[in-house]
Copies of this chain bind each other. A is one copy, B any other.
């Protein structure tokens, strides 16, 4: 693996290998690059979870992190993404993690940048390490993916997670359905059978994966209050009581409490929301290791 841009680029073999490595790290496994290694985490959008998770993963692997603050950089003087990444390449970064508001920002970099790139989220595109941590969390729980039903619920169209998870989960043998406000889905999509209503989704699934209402990305929630969303499409206490016995709740966070999910459920027994974050460190360690072993410059 040279870069990690999209979960779709990974073969089933590669995914399984990464999950195996993540498990190794989750059990306290250790791996350190042979020589001093520098990473730079270039976040062009605010982030706590993904950025800090990479910070910790890198430090656990003994990697030096070069600080980067987009708001206090030459980006404010108009420097392009390419020029900025190239700069870090030439001053010694061995690997870079990038989050950027533009879909497929990496198209301007691949083939021209000589250090590996890990996509930390591109616009409304992909977020492959989030997908991997979701897969790892599901595997940890159920031992595999075969015949599991996974419901992804919420704002699918603006979600980096929804499409990439659907692809990967299907490839691994799970059955994925979607739910959420009908008006957020294409008419054509509603008739595919992939769309089910919220109550069926909650009752029949092994994994109820809620997505974040991204108020910072769009405004179509304005017609519906938070309370209304919660009652109609959120995981209320009442809906949770109808979930299958061993089913689990997931959410990429940050959570809008009492919107996508009732406050009391965030840390409920069947919630894996904080477990997902914990697992984020292990899958990122796995990705960093695999890329540095094969693609380091």
List, in ascending order, chain B residues with CB within 8 A of A280's CB. Answer: 91
List, in ascending order, chain B residues with CB within 8 A of A277's CB. Answer: 87, 90-91
In the complex, A274 Cα to B72 Cα: how many Å? Answer: 21
A59 contacts which of B64, B77, B274 (Cβ < 8 Å)? Answer: B64
Q: Is the CB of A52 within 8 A of B68?
A: yes
Q: Is the CB of A78 within 8 A of B254?
A: yes
Smallest CB separation, A279 vs chain B (Å): 9
Q: Is A38 in the interface zone, CB < 8 Å from B?
A: yes
A256 contacts which of B75, B76, B78, B253 (Cβ < 8 Å)? Answer: B78
Q: Is A124 in the interface zone, CB < 8 Å from B?
A: no
Smallest CB separation, A214 vs chain B (Å): 8
Q: Is the CB of A74 within 8 A of B46?
A: yes
List, in ascending order, chain B residues with CB within 8 A of A36's CB. Answer: 59-60
Q: In the complex, what residue of chain B is closest to A72 when comparing beta carbons?
A: B46
Q: Is A47 in the interface zone, CB < 8 Å from B?
A: yes
Q: Is A71 in the interface zone, CB < 8 Å from B?
A: yes
In the complex, A64 Cα to B52 Cα: how many Å? Answer: 13
Within 8 A of B (CB), among A77-114: 77-80, 83-84, 86-88, 90-92
Residue interface mask A54-74, B partner, CB < 8 A = 1: 011001100011111111111
A254 contacts which of B68, B74, B91, B281 (Cβ < 8 Å)? Answer: B74
Q: Is A255 in the interface zone, CB < 8 Å from B?
A: yes
Q: Is the CB of B64 within 8 A of A67?
A: no
List, in ascending order, chain B residues with CB within 8 A of A83's CB. Answer: 253-255
Q: Is A186 in the interface zone, CB < 8 Å from B?
A: no
Q: Is the CB of A73 within 8 A of B46?
A: yes
Residues of A at the B interface (CB closer than 8 Å) are: 36, 38, 40, 43, 46-49, 52-53, 55-56, 59-60, 64-80, 83-84, 86-88, 90-92, 215-216, 253-257, 274-275, 277-278, 280-281
